[in-house]
Amino acid sequence: DTPLETIRAASILPMRRPVGLTRLIELPGECFAYTCPGSGSLRASPGPLAEQGEQMHLWALELGLDYPKLSHFNPTLGAELTVPEASSEGLIVLAKWYTFLFAHDDLAVDHDEASAETLSADVAVYEGMLLGNLPPRELAIGAMLVDCVDHARRLGPATEAFERSVSAYLRAGVEELCDRGGNQSIEEYHRLRNIAGAVESSFELAFVCMDIELPESWREHPAYRQIAAAAGRHICVANDLLSLPKELGFEGHQNFVVLYREALELPSYRETYAEIAQHVLVPAALEMHAGFAELVAAAASGELGLGPGSSVAEAVALARRVGAMFITWVDGHLLWEEGSRRHRSPLEQAA
């Protein structure tokens, strides 16, 4: 029998150069370079879709949405960096999903006229379209979501968990808009952001696109929940760190950096960024690796299995794939930021 310590050590991904993204942060009265730490992943290199940044803009255009900014995000690059193990068809589904998310976020959530009422109305239309109760082209952004979900269903693996998480994501966005401008705690912000930030739904879609049928018992295991929560926390906080310069001018927008600075009464954003890196992002990366080790150990001990006729070796292989997906997604997210024009200032975008 393999000692538990050996299993845990063996489950940790080989460390390449630790992925980190350095960005010039320009805020009112402050300007400093900041390196957002990653976790160190197995693979983070773009493939053949990476140069097709216009592809999803054209897809959206076909469905009735003319939004050239979509090509700046390069969602095809994002798909290849966040879920490199996806099938070729799965990468296209992921790119569609990321394109929908950006369009929905920019055009239905993050603008001056957005409210819980307007977003709730849009969500009702999306849900009606998904159920087939409304025409498939009733609303362009909804048409993008319907096409993405239909494409995911054709991949083969069950999509029920993904579709449940999509519904939760849409409704959490309305809840978040209701809370905008209120006194939200850091704990509540993390809870809601993981859902409203589409992190959980993106993870579930990653499994579909990797042809993984994850047993429900695995999702409920403490090790899995630890990895998923830590990965979601890292992604959402890193996103807020990089988007703060753009979002400070948006009235009522809540950002983790602002909440953290106020909660700890820190004197500057420079100090806040450093504190968040040390006390939030690095611990999240360590929690992911520790949870990964525990997940592999649970599979190796037989605590987590795949049902009748399956072997322990198959369960361990799945545990490794699942853990690697979360960690690769975290670092792929940072590399995507580096390789696209997301969250850049107008000057940086023109460069």
pLDDT digits (tens, 9 = 90+) for 50-85: 455 578 888 999 999 988 887 777 888 889 889 988
Instruction: Please tell me the least confidently modeled range out of 222-226, 257-261, 342-346.
Output: 342-346
Q: What percent of the chain has pLDDT over 90?
A: 42
Burial 220-231 (b: 16+ CB within 10 A, else e): ebebbebbbbbb
283 has a pLDDT exceeding 80: yes
- Residue 334 CA to residue 347 CA, distance in Å, equals 20
To the question of pTM greater than 0.75 for the whole model, the response is yes
CA atoms within 13 A on the CB side of 153: 9
- Statement: residue 221 has pLDDT above 90: yes
pLDDT at site 253: 61
pLDDT at residue 304, rounded to an integer = 93
Short-list 285, 328, 327, CA closest to 79: 328
pLDDT beyond 80 at 19: no
Residues 30, 32, 37, CA angle at the centre, nearest 5°?
130
Backbone angles phi, psi at 22, to 5 degrees: -100, 130
The residue with greater pLDDT, 279 or 10, is 279
Q: 146-150, 252-256, 265-269: which range is least confident on average?
A: 252-256
